Amino acid sequence: MNLKYFLVIIFLLLLRLSTNSQEKSAKSIVLKFADSLVGTRGVNGNIREFAGNVRMEQGDVNVKCDRAYQYLDENRVDLFGNVVITQKDLIMTTVRGTYNGNLKIAESNDGVKITDKKVVLTASTGIYSTARRVANFTGNVKIEDDSLIIYSDKIEYQKDSRVSHATGNVQIQGKQSDVILQSDTLDNYPNSKYTLAKGSPKLFQIDSTVSEYVDSTSLIMKKKVKYDTMSIKSDLMESIKIDSNEMYTFRHNVEIVRDNITAKSDSAFYYKKEGYLRLLGKPVVWYDKTQLFADSIIIYLPNMKLNRLDAYVNALAATMEDTLEISRISQIVGDKITISFVNDSINSIVSYGHAQSLYFLKSDSSREGVQRNLCDTLAINFESGEADNIVWLGAVQGEMFPENVIADPKQYYLQSFRWDKKKPKKLELIQKKRI
């Protein structure tokens, strides 16, 4: 045989042996170091017991622990004491666990933690696939990065995309935000700064005000903190963060409650930095004795202080002045209605375009009939929460009906009158204790 061909054959054989060895090394769990080694044979085949500074590896996965049992025929190892499993920059730690070399799965039922750069994930039990680079954790789950914390019963975390899917008693809280979100399920996409919550999602924005007072006993100036929480619920909730601005979208059966203002609609959009809520889909807003209706309504809450309500298209403001006379409801309609506030009290109501008004007149001692007016613009100014003066501007028309002709107040209602008796109730924020 030609020497040249003989050398080629020898080279190919050596290359194949080397490849087989590398493939076997990649598939098998290989011991790198241990203080002691004992080999036995049991019902599960060949077993090797390692103790003291145990170091093993499989491909890019490195394993450290105090003691280990390696089942050679199953390519599996049980790990005990200070268990650390590393895959590149991901570190999984526990007190006791298992690593399956065939399935490439690390598992623990004794409290587990994963650290992946700035992401820290902890739970009662956890499984991490080194092949798929996906963690599935259950029981008192907590996942935290530099911007937020998520609690849940279960979570799937994808290392490469940092996407997490949480289910069961989910709560997400921003580290630099006063917003808490709770839901049945939550999908978080940190790279795109997008979050989707489903299953009765609820958002709470916590606002606090600090006031000073003099303690009557010690005569020392003290501070008192008052918490005022805005709650929003819907069927589906989305949030996206652009630069430093947070925007939330709420869809279907939206209910909003904050202090003395309440609202509901089919959908809502909350721009947190700008401090306003846009309501669409048959929105209704309650403030004190007044209900506001329109095709769309904007609630302005800069620094969580009620500043203004703007109602657009088919706008109606209806006020029940006396709960003992529930049919005598004052009404204002227009193409747009603006209600302004000062120190949480109504300062003015202005109706723009095709304005109409209906007022049931009353003195201190008796009813005095009903008055209806039409004009281009209607403005009402308030003093100490009560209407002080009314101004009608442009093409003003009016009619007055004395009290003695009023049999049924409802027959004088404006054509676009509405009234909603189903006022949403405030949600209670219950934060469960987590690990």
Taking the mean position of all CA atoms in its chain, how far away is CA 337?
31
Q: What are phi and psi of 23, to 5 degrees?
A: -65, -40
**Confidence label for 7 from pLDDT (cuts 50, 70 and 90):** very low
Structure tokens, 419: 């009234």
Is the confidence at residue 360, as pLDDT, over 50? Answer: yes
SS3 assignment for 163-192 = CEEEEEEEEEEECCCCEEEEEEEEEEECCC
Bigger pLDDT: 106 or 305? 106
**Confidence label for 8 from pLDDT (cuts 50, 70 and 90):** very low
Is the confidence at residue 386, as pLDDT, over 60? Answer: yes
Is the confidence at residue 340, as pLDDT, over 90? Answer: yes
Which residue is listed with tokens 């390519």?
75
- Bridge partners for 181 per DSSP: 172, 203
Distance CA 155, CA 186 (A): 9
What does pLDDT average to over the chain?
87
For residues 193-200, give the mean pLDDT.
93
Is the confidence at residue 302, as pLDDT, over 50? Answer: yes
**pLDDT for residue 305:** 87
**pLDDT for residue 47:** 93
pLDDT digits (tens, 9 = 90+) for 58-102: 999 999 999 999 999 999 999 999 999 999 999 999 999 999 999
**pLDDT for residue 41:** 82
- Bridge partners for 213 per DSSP: 222
Is the confidence at residue 254, as pLDDT, over 50? Answer: yes
Structure tokens, 218: 């010690």
Distance CA 27, CA 75 (A): 8
Distance CA 176, CA 168 (A): 24
**Confidence label for 363 from pLDDT (cuts 50, 70 and 90):** confident
**pLDDT for residue 221:** 58
Is the confidence at residue 17, as pLDDT, over 50? Answer: no
How far from 340 is each of 277, 284, 381, 408, CA to CA, in Å? 15, 17, 10, 32
pLDDT digits (tens, 9 = 90+) for 221-250: 565 545 578 999 999 999 998 877 889 999
Bigger pLDDT: 83 or 364? 83
pLDDT digits (tens, 9 = 90+) for 303-336: 888 999 999 999 999 998 877 788 999 999 999 9
Distance CA 298, CA 309 (A): 6
**pLDDT for residue 98:** 97
pLDDT digits (tens, 9 = 90+) for 136-157: 999 999 999 888 899 999 999 9
Domains, the chain: 29-110 (2.60.450.10), 140-273 (2.60.450.10), 283-421 (2.60.450.10)
pLDDT digits (tens, 9 = 90+) for 152-194: 999 999 999 999 999 999 999 888 778 899 999 999 998 899 9
**pLDDT for residue 215:** 65
Bigger pLDDT: 310 or 364? 310
SS3 assignment for the chain = CCHHHHHHHHHHHHHHHHHHHHHHHHHCCEEEECCEEEEEEECCEEEEEEEEEEEEEECCEEEEEEEEEEECCCCEEEEEEEEEEEECCEEEEEEEEEEECCCCEEEECCCEEEEECCEEEEECEEEEECCCCEEEEEEEEEEECCCEEEEEEEEEEECCCCCEEEEEEEEEEECCCCEEEEEEEEEEECCCCEEEEECCCEEEEEEEEEEEEECCCCCCEEEEEEEEEEEEECCEEEEEEECCEEEEEEEEEEEEEECCEEEEEEEEEEECCCCEEEEECCCEEEECCEEEECCEEEEECHHHCCCEEEEEEEEEEEEECCCCCCCCEEEEEEEEEEEEEECCEEEEEEEEEEEEEEEEEECCCCEEEEEEEEEEEEEEEEECCEEEEEEEECCCEEEEECHHHCCCHHHHCCCCCCCCCCCCCCCCCCCCCCC
393 CB-near residues (< 8 Å, 6+ apart): 375, 376, 377, 378, 379
